[in-house]
Structure 1
């Protein structure tokens, strides 16, 4: 027979947890007639380790109580199959989330390298999945949920690109497109694919910490035009803006934007 302290130490659970299991009728140790202390036998140990397993895979206490009353292995097998599917889905989600974390780490390095600097760079192909007139219409478009790599709300905005159109007089258009990044240009894709071999590329900082809420659109467009002319390039009149990263300084957001401005 084993005491509460021995079982708690041996199985790595607290006394409160053991008491909770007892209160829920999941384990029923005998009381020593002489001193009134609870004592556990090997069958109680089996019960506790099994309950711990069920709790570890997030099976509710009520379901565990039902399992204890059931005599059917088939019932347990069905429950475990359900839980297996949930865990597999969680694993896939975690893999995608890990991929996103790794991408953001790369974005941090990209910001250090290109913030405030200009270079010529290719814009990788983007498949256009939908369009939004304004960012406030974001929640009205079901297509967003279908094109975010199943990463829930954590990364939904990564499927968006802001598209600014301009001419020599300034901005003439502004919209958002929903995109899917392509590894390579796939000619089998029937929809619209955006790809530009040569773009003026830079990263700029927006947000209230750096701009005090001032709209940067015209300044960015003018700066890109100036860079293009200075280096003998002809801008195509469109700029693609991608939100790379948002962080905070003194409670105010710092937003880092990746800019692609196609040129001839």
Structure 2
């Protein structure tokens, strides 16, 4: 017979884990009524090792309890196939999560490289999935949930593009479109595609930390026009604005946006 400390050492598990297994009736060591000490025999140790075998494959305790009650080889096979599908789904999710992390890391690098700078860049193809009236048109957010693939199935604003049409007299149209990058979806495209091979590109800072919450559209438009004139580019009267990153300084938000302004 062995003590709980000896068994914990033999099998590389904690005392709390052994007590948990006991609570779930996966192991039933004898207990001294006088001092409460548990004593484990070789069958108990084998039971614990068997539980560890299934736990190593991340089989839930409830499923292991079912196995202990009665489970044929075919039943075990079906259980493992079910777990296999869960793992495959998790792997697919992790792949998407990794890609998302890499994209946001790239966005951080864009901020460092292009903040306040202007360059020529292609705007990659986007599939237009829908529109909302404004980013704070909260009652229209259902369109965001339906037309985007958020990993957590919750609304975020990274799939929105603000589209501004303008001429020398001012803004002609200001709307928000819901988009997906075409390169991310290996399937037939269902809706309109928008892309521009040659754009004046920059990253700007918005948010309460840098602007006090004031509208900076006029300043941005003036800077964009100035950059186009200085570099000899002719704007097409169109700007696409994309949210890259939001962070905080002194409790106030800092918002970084990238802008694509198509040129001739």
Output the TM-score relative to the length of structure 1. Answer: 0.86
- In structure 1, the partner of 2:112 is 112
Task: Check conservation: 2:235, 2:263, Cα contact below 8 A.
Answer: yes
Which ranges in structure 2 are unaligned for 5 or more consecutive residues? none
The alpha-carbon deviation at position 29 of structure 1 amounts to 1.7
8 Å CA contact 1:145, 1:156 repeated in 2: no
* Aligned-residue offset at 1:258: 0.7
Tell me the number of residue pairs that the alignment of Structure 1 and Structure 2 aligns: 260
Residue 141 of structure 1, aligned match among 130, 138, 143: 143
**Aligned pair 1:132/2:132, yes or no?**
yes
Give the equivalent residue in structure 1 for 2:160. Answer: 160
Distance 1:237 1:121 in 2: 17
Following superposition, the deviation at residue 45 of structure 1 comes to: 2.6
Greater shift after overlay, 25-34 or 159-168? 25-34
Query: CA RMSD of the aligned region, Å?
Result: 2.7
Change in Cα spacing, 1:57 to 1:160, as seen in structure 2 (3 Å) is farther
Matches within 5 A, 1:51-62: 51-55=51-55, 58-62=58-62
Deviations 1:33-92 (A, max 9, x none): 998632323332332233335445554433332221114233332222222211211111
Q: What is the correspondence of 1:80-99 to structure 2 with a 5 Å cutoff? A: 80-99=80-99
3-state SS in 1 of match to 2:157 = helix
Contact 1:131 1:178 in 2 (8 A): yes
SS of residue paired to 2:162: strand
Alignment of 1:183-202 (within 5 A): 183=183, 189=189, 191-202=191-202
Within 1, Cα distance between the matches of 2:19 and 2:2?
Answer: 15
**Runs of 4+ in structure 1 displaced over 6 angstroms?**
32-36
Deviates more, 1:240-249 or 1:58-67: 58-67
Any gaps of 5 or more consecutive residues in structure 1?
none
Specify whether residues 106 and 60 from structure 1 end up closer, same or farther in structure 2 by C-alpha distance, changes over 3 A only.
same
Q: Distance in 2 between matches of 1:77 and 1:105?
A: 41
Is the partner of 2:96 in helix, strand or coil?
Answer: helix
CA contact (8 A) 2:164 2:240 kept: yes
**Is contact 1:111–1:256 with CA below 8 Å preserved after alignment?**
yes
Change (3 A) 1:51 1:261: same
Q: Distance in 2 between matches of 1:168 and 1:11?
A: 77
